[in-house]
Amino acid sequence: MYTVLAIIAAVLFLIAWLINAAEVSTNDVFTATNVMLIGLALLALHVAGVGSGWAPRGRRR
């Protein structure tokens, strides 16, 4: 349910791969490496649990 960051990271990895595979010339900001690093940052946030919401700590009755 809370896999949005992982999905966005996967899409960014796909875009970075396409830029690299097609050897598309882009500006200095939108390179395959920069897109891949943004994807890695989003993946790290997903693994760290950011965006997963609050979980109840107590017992349910």
pLDDT mean across residues, the chain: 82
- 56 is a domain residue: no
User: What percent of the chain stands above pLDDT 90?
Assistant: 18
What is the mean pLDDT of the segment spanning 32-55?
84
Identify whether the C-beta of residue 8 lies closer than 8 Å to the C-beta of residue 50: no
Structural domains in the chain (count): 1
**Does the pLDDT of residue 53 top 70, yes or no?**
no
Residue 40: pLDDT band by 50, 70, 90 thresholds? Answer: very high
- 12 is a domain residue: yes
**Torsion over CA: 14, 17, 21, 25 (sign):** positive
- 61 is a domain residue: no
**Does the pLDDT of residue 1 top 60, yes or no?**
no
What is the mean pLDDT of the segment spanning 36-59?
80
Alpha-carbon distance of 58 to 61, in angstroms, equals 9
- 33 is a domain residue: yes
- 34 is a domain residue: yes
Identify whether the C-beta of residue 35 lies closer than 8 Å to the C-beta of residue 12: yes
Helix residue ranges per DSSP H, 1-61: 4-22, 32-48
Q: Which structural domain range is residue 22 located in?
A: 1-46
